[in-house]
Amino acid sequence: MHQQKTNGNTTLNQDVVYLNDILDTVLFNEGGEELLETVKYFRKLSKALRDEASPSNFDQLNQEIMKLAPELRNKVIRAFSVNLQLYNIAEQNYRIRRRREYQMEDDTIIQPRSLEAGVNELYNHDITIEQVEKALEDLSLELVITAHPTEATRRTMLRIHQRIADLLKQWEFSYTRYDKKVIQEEIETEMTILWQTAEIREKKPSVMKEVSNGLYFFDKVLFNVLPVLHQDLEDLLYEKYSHRFHVPAFLRFGSWIGGDRDGNPNVTAKITYKTLKEQRALVLTKYMESIDKLKEKLSQSTKKVDVSEDLLESIEKDKAELNYRGWHKQDEVYRVKLGMVMRRLRLTSEDQPGAYIDAHALREDLMLIQDSLENHHSKSNPIKLLRHIIRQVQLFGFHLATLDVRNHSGEHEATITEILRQVGISEDYKALSEGEKQHVLTKVLQDPRPLISIYDEFSESSQEMIETFRTIKLAKDTFGERAIEVYLISMAEAVSDVLEVLVLAKEVGLYRVYPDGHVKSRLHVAPLLETIDDLKNGPTIIKSLFDIPLYRKHIEARGDSQEIMLGYSDGSKDGGNLTANWELYKAQEDIHSVASSYGVKLKFFHGRGGSLGRGGGPLYSSLLSQPPITLGDGVKITEQGEVLSSRYLIPDIAYRSLEQATSVLLSSIAGIRQTEKHREMPSDEAKDAMAFISEVSLKKYQDLVFNDDQFLSYFNQGTPLNELGALNIGSRPMKRKGSNRFEDLRAIPWVFAWTQSRQLIPAWYAAGTGLKAYLDETGNIQLLREMYQQWPFFRATINNLQMALTKADLEIADAYTDMIDDQEMAVRIFNDIRDEHKITKDMVLQIAQQDDLMDHQPNIKESVRLRNPLVDPLNLIQVQLVSRLRQVQEDSEEFNELLGEVLLTINGIAAGLRNTG
């Protein structure tokens, strides 16, 4: 079925060569012949290093780097960084071209994991209309953008990338020599601007700057792409089934930006409210832009058509209420009505009388127009712009994106401790046992009277906590219930951690127990299970919560639904990637089983990062690897950092990523995966195998990371960890509590630093030892191969290992050990890492039955191969610069100059590997 007409690598390489030629012109214009020839020479040496893997080539490249004068070195770093950015643009254009080529084919050649492929799969597997309707009811995917500091590229530069991508697409479709010449000149101009733009942020972004960055993706891409995807699915289902399905608003975007206060003192209650106001301002502006276009289109006159009485009545009511005629030609009733809609939207944005009460009222006005149009316009060919706007209102409301609020369990405990002491309930709540805490909290929740009043005074931190909950209530009252739906608790280790949040919600009126015993609750409370121990204890915590009658009533008030967040970062940091993923899989199955026994729907919120060491990988692959039974109650996933720009900067790429996820999720919910070859997996034998592999892997990982007392020195000195903090890529501090303890180091810099040094150990280390131990114990390679072929979770695990092992480069990584003071220790630990890399690679190839890593995805394999010669020089320059930087006095002129160059190398390597944290 799959057939590609063009050679993808050929067209990709043509784009790369085309952009490189223009870049060389810019390098010559900006740095003269010396810069251009140096860059060409380094490209040649680096390619030879890869082609021949000779120590002499490595030494020669290192020697040539050492000879570089500082000014030229700076330009060489920037040249390779821009080169990699252009390669990323060429790859994106290739993906768009490939999608377009499929669309040009007849209906026998369909792109895998497209919406069309997903609908065809339903039809070809005899999924009935009734089954499809049920699957659509259960279909729910929420993607949550976060401000986690993993995007190393400034938004200014991302916009230039977008313009170059648009021009490259135009160049492909230009047919005259003149057009091609003009476009090439424009690309050269954009590259020159890119070269002349400062790459590094001078200071950390404010939270509101991060909010602005996040809103950019809604403004330029998501506001239009999401409605199109919904409508395309509806149309494709109609074409295949000849039945008009109602596709609900199943795909939504939420946000943490401005709401995530875990470890970020810059996120306050005032910032949260300001964020929601910014979101509403944007969505109202977008509606007015859309309505203006629709008003231009709907020029039908009552002299030519009959319109509905309901519409005419609503117009008269609007005129009386708004004292406004809407449009100068009263016979053009749709324009009259849309003029009224525009007036109400403006009043809404100004909080003036006559404003819309809520987004539902806006949708009702638009539905009046749609119903009236059906009196005289073909139903088989509806006005799509109107349907598009109605869908936008359904998706985005007046809040644009649901804002999650998150904080650390310890912060809630401290506030509750202070409140209970002040009102005389408990002198030291924090010192109570878990059972005693639950008893106190349950008693407080049962009492309808508040503990505090607006006149009470508390410490600054407790007062801010109380104001946060007051803001949540104000936000829901002002912007709608969907403005904030979930409160997330980081490091939720006990039942009391959840009950504490309910007590705070009760104090502001978000939660209330009435005299007759029924409960009103306006806020989901979601524990975040992060560490390996948390994941193992998760089922017990959830069962204990559901056993509390008052909490069960809270769940009933929330539609018998409970959200639970699963953290991928800290589990991986604590136990290694393989063990963390297995514990996540088991926790989902076990917690889902507990919830089902209580009749509770469970939505899992997957806190994934962009890197493989933090649960990264393609969106559709993440969905495939989850236990199928957990997908029907809704799925929620974080999208953060560099993932936002790689997936959602360009509309075609955004559509492709989202249609893949939709296609996979719809097929899974409809039961196709469970009825085919996957029905036998995971067998009990397979689960036992994973448990064995995980246990051995965990020991191997912790022996190095926690039990080797020299490991932290190896990590701190052998990676650019300490330099990352100067990159200013996020408002949140790099470490919790400003501590130097490993436990307080955030997972993002942990992964970021290993990626820069090309070791990537969070993504693969210890997996090979676990797999090999199982094979040595049982000799059952056939079971592992069957698991790979038939169990999506295991397949995703092995394929992610392939990607991580491919991006890791231990020849380059070896150079980083030169930065470590104790060379005997450096050699010892590095040799262990090298041995584990070999074991893991050998095991992966045996299981996947491949000759080389990534043979199953040759395009990605080729991409990594072509990128390496551009990344390698940056790594070697980085090693030399960091080594020198650590020898000079801080805040000296030389220190600041060297640090600036180090940060440039970090940016370039991040662009080359497409992963940061």
* DSSP label at residue 567: E
Terminal Cα distance for the chain, rounded: 37
Give the whole-angstrom CA distance, residue 635 versus residue 642. 21
Q: Which amino acid is at 614?
A: R
3-class secondary-structure state, position 651: helix
- Characterize the bridge pairing of strands 251-255 and 405-408: unpaired
For 157-176, letters b (16+ CB in 10 Å) and e give bbebbbbbbbbbbebbebee
Helix (H, G, I), strand (E, B) or coil at 173: coil
> Which tokens go with 147?
């401000």
Whole-angstrom distance, CA of residue 485 vs CA of residue 402: 7
What amino acid is encoded at 608 in this protein? R
What are the residue numbers of the active site? 148, 573
Strand, coil or helix: 212: helix
H or E segment to which residue 665 belongs: helix 651-669
Instruction: Give the Cα-Cα-Cα angle 463, 465, 469 (nearest 5 degrees).
Output: 115
Characterize 213-224 residue by residue with b for buried, 16 or more Cβ atoms within 10 angstroms of its Cβ, and e for exposed: bbbbbbbbbbbb
* Tokens matching residue 795: 């397949």
What DSSP line would sit under 279-337, residue for residue? HHHHHHHHHHHHHHHHHHH----TTT----HHHHHHHHHHHHHHT--SSS-TT-HHHHH
Distance CA 439, CA 192 (A): 67
Run of H or E residues at 14: helix 8-52
Residue where the block lists tokens 């706007």? 389
3-class secondary structure for 343-410? Answer: HHHHHHHCCCCCCCCCHHHHHHHHHHHHHHHCCCCCCCCCCHHHHHHHHHHHHHCCCCCEECEEEEHH
Residue 880's Cβ-side half-sphere holds a number of Cα atoms within 13 Å equal to 20
Residues 859-898 as b/e (b if ≥16 CB within 10 A, e otherwise) read eebebbebbbbbbbbbbbbbbbbbeebeeeeeeeeebebb
Q: Taking a C-beta distance cutoff of 8 angstroms, is the pair 902, 70 a contact?
A: no
- DSSP code per residue over 731-798: SS-SBGGG--SGGGB-HHHHHHHHHHTT--HHHHTTHHHHHHHHHHHH--HHHHHHHHHH-HHHHHHH
